[in-house]
């Protein structure tokens, strides 16, 4: 089941004395966060924070929330996880949230054989890598066009054409 509110980053500290906070983004790019006018402090959409200003600062985002006007108030937000509402996110066609991939069953595109379940995703820079678990084994699957044939997060299914040697002992 898809979560309505998705983890998107963590408040790691304050920035200055006027209530700004530093956020470590957990999305492809901190720029993605600039699209949101409201962020949430819990996975149920409670404790909403209205974004007043947001800007990149190196590998973090600096965010000013309405009503948080001092370093003391900003400090109370430290170590909180921020969430977005799925309905506020507009992903390009063929894109999906990593959280939606976790738990998807992975099938061989040609044989429909179950290869395992996506247990984690690593972002390497060049391409993502899916961690696929099958019983006590874990396989690393590069997310490239030659391998990934179909992703259907609504059905919790992924179809791949495995590279030789990943699931067997071929050279």
DSSP label at residue 97: -
**pLDDT for the residue 2:** 80
Asked if 160 contacts 152 with a C-beta cutoff of 8 angstroms, the reply is no
Give the pairing type, strands 128-134 and 38-40.
unpaired
User: Where do the H-state alpha helices sit in the chain?
Assistant: 71-75, 98-101
Are 2 and 19 spatial neighbours (Cβ–Cβ below 8 Å)?
A: no
Q: What is the pLDDT of residues 48-69, one digit of tens each?
A: 999 999 999 988 999 999 999 9
Look at the block and give the residue holding tokens 């044939």.
149
Specify the residue for token string 């309405």: 66
Domains defined for the chain, CATH in brackets: 5-88 (2.40.30.60), 98-160 (2.30.30.240)
Q: Is the pLDDT of residue 1 over 70?
A: no
Q: In angstroms, rounded to a whole number, what is the distance separating the alpha carbons of residues 42 and 8?
A: 11
What distance in Å separates the CA atoms of residue 129 and residue 123, rounded to the nearest whole number?
Answer: 6
pLDDT digits (tens, 9 = 90+) for 2-45: 889 999 999 999 999 999 999 999 887 788 899 999 999 999 99
Specify the pLDDT at position 169.
57
Quote the CA–CA distance of 65 and 152 in Å, as a whole number: 36
Positive or negative, the CA dihedral 21, 27, 28, 32 is negative
What whole-number distance in Å separates Cα of residue 105 and Cα of residue 165? 20
The pLDDT tens digits for 144-169 are 999 999 999 989 999 999 988 887 75
Residue 29 has a pLDDT of 77
What is the DSSP secondary structure assignment for residue 30, as one 8-state letter?
Answer: G
């Amino acid at each position: 089941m898809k979560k309505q509110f998705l983890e998107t980053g963590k408040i790691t500290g304050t920035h200055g004395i006027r209530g700004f906070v530093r956020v470590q983004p957990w999305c492809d790019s901190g720029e993605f966060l600039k699209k949101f006018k409201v962020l949430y402090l819990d996975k149920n959409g409670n404790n909403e924070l209205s974004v007043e200003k947001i800007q990149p600062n190196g590998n973090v985002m600096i965010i000013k929330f309405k009503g948080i006007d001092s370093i003391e108030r900003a400090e109370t937000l430290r170590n909180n996880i921020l969430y977005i509402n799925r309905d506020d996110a507009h992903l390009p066609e063929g894109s999906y949230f990593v959280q939606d991939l976790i738990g998807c069953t992975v099938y061989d595109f040609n044989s429909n054989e179950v290869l395992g379940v996506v247990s984690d995703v690593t972002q390497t820079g060049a391409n993502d890598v899916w961690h696929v678990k099958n019983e006590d084994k874990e396989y690393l699957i590069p997310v490239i066009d030659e391998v990934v044939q179909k992703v259907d997060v609504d059905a919790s299914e992924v179809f791949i054409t495995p590279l030789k040697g990943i699931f067997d002992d071929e050279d």
